[in-house]
Amino acid sequence: MNIVWTLAMAALGLALASSLAGLFATARRPALLRGLSLPLFALSGLAALACGLLALADGGSITLQLPLGLPWLPWQLRLDALSGFFLVLLGALTLAVGIYGVGYVRDFERGRDQLPPLGAFSGLFLLGMELVLMADGAYLFMVAWELMTLSSYFLVAFQHDNAANRRAAFLYLLMGHISGLCILLAFGVLASFSGSFAFAAMRAAHPDFLWASVAFALAFTGFGIKAGLVPVHAWLPEAHPAAPSHISALMSGAMLKVAVYGFLRVVFDLIGPLHWQWGVVVLTVGSLSALLGVLLALMQTDLKRLLAYSSVENLGIVFIGLGLSLIFLGTGHRLLGALALVAALYHALNHALFKGLLFMGAGAILHSAHERDLDRMGGLLRRMPWTGTFFLIGSLAISGLPPLNGFVSEWFTFQAALQTWQLHSGLLRTLIPVAAAVLALSAALAAAAFVKAYGVAFLGRARTRQVRRARQVPVNMRVGQGLLALGCLAAGVFPSTVIAWIVRVPQSLLGSGLPQAGAQGWLWLTPVSPTTASYSAPGVLLALLVLAGLTAWLVHWGAVRRVRRSDAWDCGLAPPTPRMQYTATGFAQPLRRVFGAWLRVDEGVDAGEGATPRHRLQITDRSWALFYAPVVRVLDRLTRLVTRMQAGHLRVYLAWTLGTLLLLLWVVTL
């Protein structure tokens, strides 16, 4: 067994050991969770990171068969550039989450929540994700997928005393099983042509366009549900805020990317020849997800719900890149297809870094100030300077501002979209610019959303007593946030180096890379050619540092020469109070007026007799009324029909049994 498989087995073994150690972290031995389970969790992430880097550097594929499973369906593992990339993403985030969690779980030791489920299911959750990325057959893939889904269900329902958490966990489990069923059916279609559930056999078989499209539709639905794409996203803003914050970081930063991996594995690797019609569907759904996700994020006052809706937007951006890649590859433009695929993978990596960082920041606020409502925060930068600094880095990165990493992947996606002129179809040459415009609008709205989030939470004055009493979080939590903040900075300042690793994935899947991307060295990034577009992230960083230094010197020089000092003019009113500050609701009010048609807004004033008038505002997702409520009504009617069968008489039950038996016999004889 070579070093790559040694590291892979170490990652799996450490994740399992972390789960077993967490199982014994009872109220009498709470230190086992912090002292053993979470360190093993972090080491599993480190092993996965090293394994992924080696697999990515090798660029080939290696297989291994484990003595597990069924006699005719053994567990087969495979590592290649695609699985290596996602193992790097998962491992880096898991390492930071494991370090962060050592400080974060202290609050649970003093509460009524049971520690063994948190430790045990966290390890199983990580084990399931790692196995999904290594599986080389539909059987093991589905076993690992269900392990990932079921273990994360118990983590979402961890604080089950809250009725909202129980509801969120049930919705998550329901959507997770629908997702798994669609994926299983997609594998069934492919296995019917290959005669085997092994990925190698599926890869060799090439179904016709009709059945390939059926497999694509099932896979896109299944993995799209897990990725939180519109309109099957309703579970995500319910489940992610309900989980503990370090698990929320792992679910949003890693689990959603496992869904992206599954889509890439099935569509780009197993189905066979790609068709541009699939790209149109993916591009349309990705654009709607990006726009609706950021609009709903902008309207939130709960910080964790804001971050959850933002994940819908960012996964939409990833699928915009994948849709562009499918369109270009389906029309014979392999270089442009590779460019769009690299953009999608880059944004998947970036989202894991900055969304993990932002969820950790939200967890730090919850740990220290015990608050999630933005309208009750304020002034946290003075009380939590490290968390405020790291959250600012994450906010700038997710807003797509240079020189951080979010800018590079979004710029890469735009560069791919700008190559539409090379297509001959008038439909595609019209659709792609519209998608690019939606992407630009989503980026601008994302910047507004995180200006709101950071400004209301960290600037100004504290609005409540418990926020005024907030203190800096433990060093473990700061280290975990710092690692991801450094990752955001490094991936933004040295994009040529990062892309030199990412480009191995399209080379493995498509046989085509980006020869011009790093042709100018590490200083310049050229997606297509130097004459088309180029970007120097180190140069931008240097210019910003010089500008910041010059501004600081001028401000200091002006302050030294200033003679008169006085309070700011307060317009003759009373001294400023926290009530005079902008709230998160007020900040979003102009945009709520502009985009109100996209949202379901219930706004008014409740004023009963003798009661103080109160402003009422409730913003809900239209998807509930359009897609979910009709399904609920149909299911409710069906359940009422079924209950009528329960007459309470034995002869009625025997009649139903006889009727069912006759129906089955008739089906068998067909």
Q: Is the pLDDT of residue 490 over 90?
A: yes
- The two structure tokens encoding residue 664: 């089955």
Please tell me the distance from the alpha carbon of residue 439 to that of residue 289, in angstroms, as a whole number.
10
More confident residue, 532 or 214: 214
The 10 Å Cβ neighbour count of residue 515 is 11
Report pLDDT digits (tens) over 613-639: 777 777 777 777 777 777 777 777 877
Please tell me the distance from the alpha carbon of residue 11 to that of residue 166, in angstroms, as a whole number.
31
Quote the number of domains for the chain. Answer: 2
Report pLDDT digits (tens) over 161-180: 888 888 889 889 989 999 99
- pLDDT category of residue 645 using cuts at 50, 70 and 90: low
CB 365 within 8 A of CB 303: yes
Do both 400 and 351 map to the same domain?
yes
- pLDDT category of residue 565 using cuts at 50, 70 and 90: low
Give domain status of residue 462, yes or no.
yes
Report pLDDT digits (tens) over 413-452: 999 998 888 888 888 888 999 999 999 999 999 999 999 9
DSSP letters spanning 584-647: HHHHHHHHHHHTGGGSEEEEEEE--TTSPPEEEEEEE-HHIIIIIHHHHHHHHHHHHHHHHT--
Please name every residue paired with 135 in a beta bridge, in sequence order, or none if there are none. 77
Do both 495 and 627 map to the same domain?
no
Please tell me the distance from the alpha carbon of residue 217 to that of residue 148, in angstroms, as a whole number.
23
Q: Is the pLDDT of residue 385 over 90?
A: yes
> Is this prediction's pTM over 0.85?
yes
Report pLDDT digits (tens) over 334-347: 999 999 999 999 99
- pLDDT category of residue 647 using cuts at 50, 70 and 90: low
Do both 372 and 435 map to the same domain?
yes
The 10 Å Cβ neighbour count of residue 45 is 29
Domain end position, chosen among 547, 566, 598: 598
Q: Is the pLDDT of residue 566 over 80?
A: no
Q: Identify the pLDDT of residue 437.
A: 93
Please tell me the distance from the alpha carbon of residue 469 to that of residue 465, in angstroms, as a whole number.
6
The 10 Å Cβ neighbour count of residue 401 is 15
Q: Identify the pLDDT of residue 356.
A: 95
The 10 Å Cβ neighbour count of residue 538 is 15
Q: Is the pLDDT of residue 582 over 60?
A: yes
- Give percent of the chain with pLDDT exceeding 90: 50
Give domain status of residue 378, yes or no.
yes
More confident residue, 629 or 19: 19
Please tell me the distance from the alpha carbon of residue 434 to that of residue 411, in angstroms, as a whole number.
16
Mean pLDDT on 56-62: 87
Give domain status of residue 351, yes or no.
yes
Q: Identify the pLDDT of residue 135.
A: 94
Q: Identify the pLDDT of residue 519.
A: 63
Give domain status of residue 315, yes or no.
yes
- Give percent of the chain with pLDDT exceeding 70: 92
Do both 339 and 485 map to the same domain?
yes
Do both 505 and 630 map to the same domain?
no
Mean pLDDT in the chain?
87
Do both 630 and 504 map to the same domain?
no
Do both 594 and 627 map to the same domain?
no
- The two structure tokens encoding residue 540: 């931008």
Do both 284 and 363 map to the same domain?
yes
Cis check for the bond before 403: say yes or no (omega within 30 of 0): yes
- pLDDT category of residue 574 using cuts at 50, 70 and 90: low
- pLDDT category of residue 149 using cuts at 50, 70 and 90: very high
Please name every residue paired with 600 in a beta bridge, in sequence order, or none if there are none. 620
Give domain status of residue 270, yes or no.
no
Q: Identify the pLDDT of residue 639.
A: 76
Q: Identify the pLDDT of residue 591.
A: 74
Q: Provide the Cα torsion 72, 74, 80, 82; round to 10°.
A: 80
Q: Identify the pLDDT of residue 52.
A: 94
Residue 541 CB partners (closer than 8 Å, separation 6+): 403, 493
The 10 Å Cβ neighbour count of residue 160 is 15
Please name every residue paired with 74 in a beta bridge, in sequence order, or none if there are none. 69
Q: Identify the pLDDT of residue 489.
A: 94
Give domain status of residue 630, yes or no.
yes
Give domain status of residue 248, yes or no.
no
Please tell me the distance from the alpha carbon of residue 97 to that of residue 93, in angstroms, as a whole number.
6
Angle between helices 38-58 and 3-23 (to 10 degrees): 160
- pLDDT category of residue 81 using cuts at 50, 70 and 90: very high
Cis check for the bond before 231: say yes or no (omega within 30 of 0): yes
Q: Identify the pLDDT of residue 653.
A: 76
Report pLDDT digits (tens) over 26-36: 767 777 888 88
- The two structure tokens encoding residue 349: 């990596």
Task: Please list, residue by residue across 388-397, b when 16 or more beta carbons sit within 10 angstroms of its beta carbon and e when fewer do.
Answer: bbbbbbbbbb
Q: Which of 81-95, 476-490, 555-569 has the lowest mean pLDDT?
A: 555-569
Q: Identify the pLDDT of residue 113.
A: 61
Q: Is the pLDDT of residue 412 over 80?
A: yes
Mean pLDDT on 332-361: 94
Q: Identify the pLDDT of residue 592.
A: 74
Residue 492 CB partners (closer than 8 Å, separation 6+): 397, 402, 403, 404, 405, 406, 407, 408, 537
Please tell me the distance from the alpha carbon of residue 533 to that of residue 418, in angstroms, as a whole number.
11
DSSP for residue 85:
H
CB 457 within 8 A of CB 303: yes
Task: Please list, residue by residue across 177-193, b when 16 or more beta carbons sit within 10 angstroms of its beta carbon and e when fewer do.
Answer: ebbbebbbbbbebbbeb
- The two structure tokens encoding residue 424: 């001959």
- Which stretch of DSSP H or E encloses residue 79? strand 73-79
Q: Identify the pLDDT of residue 70.
A: 78
| Upper half-sphere CA count for residue 269 (Cβ side, 13 Å) | 24
List the one residue out of 11, 13, 41 whose CA is nearest residue 25.
41
Please tell me the distance from the alpha carbon of residue 614 to that of residue 620, in angstroms, as a whole number.
19
Unique residue bearing structure tokens 């998160």: 584
| Highest mean pLDDT pick, 22-36, 88-102, 454-468 | 88-102
CB 291 within 8 A of CB 226: no
Do both 385 and 417 map to the same domain?
yes
Report pLDDT digits (tens) over 108-147: 777 666 788 888 999 999 999 999 999 999 999 999 999 9
| Three-state secondary structure string covering 457-477 | HHCCCCCCHHHHCCCCCCHHH
Unique residue bearing structure tokens 């991801």: 484
Do both 455 and 506 map to the same domain?
yes
Do both 284 and 419 map to the same domain?
yes
Mean pLDDT on 272-295: 93
Angle (CA) 101-345-50 rounded to 5° is 50
Q: Identify the pLDDT of residue 218.
A: 95
Report pLDDT digits (tens) over 67-79: 887 777 888 899 9
Domain residue limits at 315: 279-298+307-512+580-598
Give domain status of residue 107, yes or no.
no
Q: What values do phi and psi take at 70, rounded to 5? A: -105, 160
Do both 449 and 311 map to the same domain?
yes
Q: What values do phi and psi take at 399, rounded to 5? A: -80, -5
Residue 598 CB partners (closer than 8 Å, separation 6+): 291, 292, 295, 622
Q: Identify the pLDDT of residue 89.
A: 95
Q: Identify the pLDDT of residue 265.
A: 95
- Which stretch of DSSP H or E encloses residue 68? strand 62-70
Q: Identify the pLDDT of residue 609.
A: 61
Q: What is the total residue count of the chain?
A: 670
Report pLDDT digits (tens) over 285-331: 999 999 999 999 998 889 999 999 999 999 999 999 999 999 999 99
CB 537 within 8 A of CB 489: no
Radius of gyration of the chain (CA): 26
- The two structure tokens encoding residue 78: 């495979």
